[in-house]
Chain A
Amino acid sequence: MIENIRELLKAHESLKREVYLDIENSSVVPKEVVDAMLPYFNQRAYGNPTLTHKPGWEAFETIMEASKKIAKFLGCETLEEINFIPGETEANNLALIGTALSMKDKGKKIVVSEIEPINVLHVTDLLNKYGCNIVRIPVDDEGVINLEKLMGAVDKQTILVSLSSVNHEIGTIEPLKEAIEVVKDRNPETIFHTDASDTYGRILFDVQDLNVDLATISSYKILGPRGIGVLYVREGVKIERVLEGQLGTQKLWPGVENTPLIAGFAKASELAFHNLEDNVNHMRRLRDKLIDGIMRKVSDVRLNGPKGDRRVADNVNISFLRCEGEALTIELSLKGVYVSSGSACTRRLLQPSHVLVAIGRKFVEAHGSILMKVTRCHTEEDMDYVLKVIPKAVERIRGIVGTMEVD
C-alpha cells in the first residue's frame, strides 16, 4: 500500500504551484505559528504544569496566557471557562456526552439539526443507544435552521440543544442568537452547545452576548496546529468528564497538557484576530472571486449554501453536474489544487454528504460537490491558478462521462 502512495506522490513531483483549500479536513500551519510553538518542545515550559519545578511553572504560565488570549477573543468572563481539549471531535463528544451524564436526572431529550458535523450526529446515535431521545431539526434549502421546528422540539425533557453557528460544509451563518433565545424561553435549564469551529476568527462570536452555555472551537480551522481545541463552558454549567485519569490544569480533560499545541493555538488566534476585519474582507474577496469565476467559466454548476453576507467569508461549496467528485479531486490534485468532495466515493459509503442531502440536493449533485475554504494566507494569484485548473479538470472528467445521462 505504501508503495502505491509513493507512486501517487511521484506523479505530483513536477508541480510548479500548489494551492491547499482543504481546510475543512486539516490545515497548513503558517511559519509564524510553527515558530511560536517550537520553544515549548525543548527550550522552555516543557514540564508538566501541575508540578513543582521551573519547567512546570513555565508551562502553567504559558497555558494561562494562552487561555487569557482565547478567553478575550471569545468574550469569556473568567479563564476557567476555557478548557483545552485535543480537537473539535473530542470537544463535541465531551459537550454532548458530558451534558447527557450530568443532566441524566433532568431529562432524556437532545435536539440537534440535520446538518451538524458527524462528530455531533454520531455521538447522538451513541446516546440514543443508551436511552436518549434525539430530535433532528430540518433546515431550508440554504441550510438555515427552522426556528419554529426548534421551538416545537424543546420541552421540559430537553436537556441539550447542539447547533453549529456556521455550517462546516456549506457555510450557512445560522441565526444562533435567536435559536438560543427560543430554546431558553422554552426551557431555561436546557444546555445550549454550539460548534463554533467555522465561526471563530470569521464572524463576531461573543459568548456573553449570545448567552451560550458550551462552545467548541478548533485550532486547525484558523491555521493553528491540529490536535488542539477549546470547549468553552460557561461558569456555573456542570458537565461530566468523559475520560478519567491524572487530572491536570484542565478540569474536563485528564492527562498531560500539550503546551506547544496550546501555544500554537493561541498564536494562530492572535493572527486571525489581529486585523480581523481586513482578514475577513480578504477571505470574502477571494471566496467571491472563486465562486464567480467558477460560475462564469464552468457550465452546469450549482452553489451549495447561501450567497453574500449570509455565507461565512471562507466557504466555497460547488456542485459540478455530470462530474464525479472523487475523480475530480484526484484530477485536481495532479494539478496541485487540493480540495475535498461530498461524493459517496470519497466518503467510502453509498451515501453522499448528509448536509447536501438535507438541503435538498439530488444525489448526483452531491456526488459532484467540491468543498474549498480560503484563508487569510491565500492570494489573488492562488485563486487565478485554481480558476485556471478547475475548468480543465472538470472538462476532462466530464469527457469520461461522455454521452451518458446522469441526472
Chain B
Amino acid sequence: MSRTPLPYNPKILELFRNPKNLGKMEDATVSAVAGNPLCGDMIIFYLKIDNDVIKKASFESYGCAANIATSSATTEMIRGMKLEDAWKISWRSVIEAVGGVPSVKLHCGILAVGALKRAIRTYYVNKGVLPDWLPEEVTFEEEQALEEEELAKRLPKRMPVEEEK
C-alpha cells in the first residue's frame, strides 16, 4: 500500500473554510451524536422538526476537513425535507454532494448519515410511535456510528504499540 496526500476537492475546502449550519441549536427538537472523540472523529446533529418536516438542521464536529464538509453538506440536504425522505438519504449521496472524498474518508459520509438517522429514530422513539417506514432494526449507518463508539471503548487507554500496516 502507499500513502498519498489527501486531495480534498474545492467543495470540501469551501465547506471546511465556511461551514454552513454550524453550531448548537438551542431550540432543537432532537439531537444525536455519531462517532467518538477517542477515534478523532465525532459529530452531533441538531434537528428542528415541525409536523414531521425538518425545519432547520445544524451540526458540530470534532473531526477532519472531510468530516466537517460531509456534516455541513448533510444538514444542507435535509433542510425542509420530510423525515421519511431524509431517512432515505444514502451516505453515497452525501459523498456525491461534497464532490467525492478520498477512500480513507468514506466513513465521514457514513458517520453523517448515521447521526441523521439516529436523530430521526430518537425523535420517533421519544414520541412513542415508530412510523411504518422506519425499520425496527438499526441500519448500516446507525450501526457504524455505534460501532465506532464500541470500538473506542475497546481501545485500551495505553495501547500496545501498533502502527499502520
The answer to whether B9 touches A404 (Cβ under 8 A) is no
> What are 6 contact pairs spanning A and B, CB under 8 A?
A2-B7, A8-B8, A324-B63, A343-B40, A358-B161, A400-B19
Q: Is B4 on the interface with A (CB-CB < 8 A)? A: yes
Q: Is B80 on the interface with A (CB-CB < 8 A)? A: no
Interface string of B48-87 (1 = CB under 8 A from A): 0000000000001111110110000000000000000000
The answer to whether A401 touches B40 (Cβ under 8 A) is no
The answer to whether B10 touches A345 (Cβ under 8 A) is no
The answer to whether A330 touches B4 (Cβ under 8 A) is no
A121 with B63: in contact, given A5-B5, A400-B19, A400-B68 (CB under 8 Å)? no
Q: Is B3 on the interface with A (CB-CB < 8 A)? A: yes
The answer to whether B163 touches A118 (Cβ under 8 A) is yes
A400 with B10: in contact, given A324-B40, A344-B40, A350-B39 (CB under 8 Å)? no
Q: What A residues does B9 contact at CB under 8 A?
A: 4, 7
Q: Is B104 on the interface with A (CB-CB < 8 A)? A: yes
A404 with B40: in contact, given A1-B7, A327-B68, A363-B155 (CB under 8 Å)? no
Q: Is A352 on the interface with B (CB-CB < 8 A)? A: yes
Give chain A nearest CB distance to B151 CB in angstroms.
8
Give chain A nearest CB distance to B69 CB in angstroms.
10
Give chain B nearest CB distance to A100 CB in angstroms.
19
Interface string of A345-378 (1 = CB under 8 A from B): 1011111101001101011100100000000000
Q: Report the bound CA distance from A401 to B19 in whole Å.
A: 12
The answer to whether B60 touches A348 (Cβ under 8 A) is no
The residue on B at minimum CB distance from A345 is: B64
Q: Which of A8, A345, A357, A363 contacts B13 (CB 8 A)?
A: A8
Q: What A residues does B16 contact at CB under 8 A?
A: 327, 330
The answer to whether A326 touches B44 (Cβ under 8 A) is no
The answer to whether B37 touches A360 (Cβ under 8 A) is no
The residue on A at minimum CB distance from B41 is: A345
Q: What B residues does A8 contact at CB under 8 A?
A: 7-8, 13
Which range contains the number of B residues in contact with the other chain? 35 or more
Q: Which of A327, A347, A351 contacts B63 (CB 8 A)?
A: A327
The residue on B at minimum CB distance from A404 is: B60
Q: What B residues does A322 contact at CB under 8 A?
A: 62
- Quick one: which of B23, B61, B64, B164 has the most chain A CB within 10 A? B64
Q: Is B127 on the interface with A (CB-CB < 8 A)? A: no
Q: Report the bound CA distance from A4 to B6 in whole Å.
A: 9
Q: Is A204 on the interface with B (CB-CB < 8 A)? A: no
Q: Is A15 on the interface with B (CB-CB < 8 A)? A: no
Q: Report the bound CA distance from A349 to B9 in whole Å.
A: 21
Q: Which of A4, A345, A354 contacts B162 (CB 8 A)?
A: A354
8 more CB-based (< 8 A) A-B contacts, given A400-B22, A400-B61, A400-B68: A4-B10, A8-B8, A324-B63, A344-B39, A349-B163, A364-B38, A367-B40, A400-B62
Q: What B residues does A344 contact at CB under 8 A?
A: 39-41
The answer to whether A401 touches B62 (Cβ under 8 A) is yes
Q: Which of A330, A352, A402, A407 contacts B40 (CB 8 A)?
A: A352
Q: Report the bound CA distance from A4 to B162 in whole Å.
A: 32
Q: Is B88 on the interface with A (CB-CB < 8 A)? A: no
Q: Report the bound CA distance from A324 to B17 in whole Å.
A: 15
The residue on B at minimum CB distance from A360 is: B158
Q: Report the bound CA distance from A400 to B67 in whole Å.
A: 11
Q: Report the bound CA distance from A8 to B157 in whole Å.
A: 36
Interface string of A377-407 (1 = CB under 8 A from B): 0000000000000000000000111111011
Q: What A residues does B4 contact at CB under 8 A?
A: 1
Give chain B nearest CB distance to A400 CB in angstroms.
5
Give chain A nearest CB distance to B66 CB in angstroms.
9
Instruction: For the complex of A and B, list the 6 residue pairs with the smallest distance between their C-beta atoms, beginning with the closest.
Output: A402-B60, A4-B7, A367-B40, A406-B37, A326-B64, A345-B64
The residue on A at minimum CB distance from B44 is: A404
The answer to whether B13 touches A364 (Cβ under 8 A) is no
Q: Is B94 on the interface with A (CB-CB < 8 A)? A: no
